[in-house]
A = this chain, B = another copy of it.
């Protein structure tokens, strides 16, 4: 099989690329390098089954050409900045909504009919049901980021229904692990390296969040894709650990891993920012019914992320 990976030099895309190559597949990674890191592909670059193409999903012509000859698309390219998404609505719209339509149209032009898509647990807004199942009540969106991901899902679903596509939609919690490029562990480690005595935490620190280790996430995606094949329907899965923690728990684990005892300072409020959900915990019965479970707990995933960042400090300085 020949796979096309948008966002191929990003956190999820580069880990997926390495996994696919290790299984003997061919991979074309497509990335505009706006946030992706070419260094993440250094191992892939030595594999003859791998090809990197620098390009933008907003460039339909380049995208369509690059996709030629591939069998399956992993669409991970996106603006993932949920925190500041309302500062640049035009950018979120283009990267996430327009970009996903371009990917679908490039697939149609190339006769490719299978796509896996990185959605987000944020599409549930602020749900009433915990853990939140895939069939939760029709959500009210709280960020343009999540609304654009929800639309990505909807576009894929309509292409499955109308054009016989097969769609795999994964609603992730926040991912952790090797090549993790932004988020609270990133911010906390970077801040503690600069000032080991103090740690500023957005909100009151009681926000409850679930996380998932990147390799557990890749395991789940590969299991789904291999289970259902090209059955011309849409498959929707929550992916997350079967637990959650508070942000202040995570702050404690990070500090301990760094052998530090900083004073915590809280900005206050139940949310870290506008559109932040105070509680994210996904019901993952559907994916677990296929035999998947996460190998690392949230604490283990946090600690592995700290270790990774401390041994890859260049990444902390990259943004």
Contact = CB atoms under 8 A, between A and B. Distances in A.
A161 B97 contact: no
- Residue with the greatest number of chain B CB neighbours at <10 A, chosen from A124, A125, A151: A151
A148 B124 CA distance: 18
Given A97-B151, A147-B155, 17 more contacts: A86-B158, A86-B162, A89-B104, A90-B105, A93-B98, A135-B137, A135-B138, A136-B137, A136-B138, A137-B137, A137-B138, A138-B139, A144-B154, A146-B154, A146-B158, A150-B150, A162-B274
A37 interface: no
A101 to B, nearest CB: 5
A234 interface: yes
B93 A101 contact: yes
B141 A147 contact: no
Nearest to A87: B162
A12 to B, nearest CB: 23
A222 interface: no
Copies in the complex: 2
Interface of A: 85-86, 89-90, 93, 97-98, 101, 104-105, 124-125, 134-144, 146-148, 150-151, 153-155, 157-159, 161-163, 234, 236, 274-275
Contacts of A90: 101, 105
A147 B157 contact: yes
Nearest to A157: B141
Nearest to A149: B154
A98 B92 CA distance: 12
A161 B138 contact: no
Contacts of A275: 158, 161-162
A16 B153 CA distance: 33
A128 to B, nearest CB: 9
B142 A147 contact: no
> Could you say which of A97, A157, A158 has the most chain B C-beta atoms within 10 Å of its C-beta?
A158
A138 B144 CA distance: 18
A147 B143 contact: no
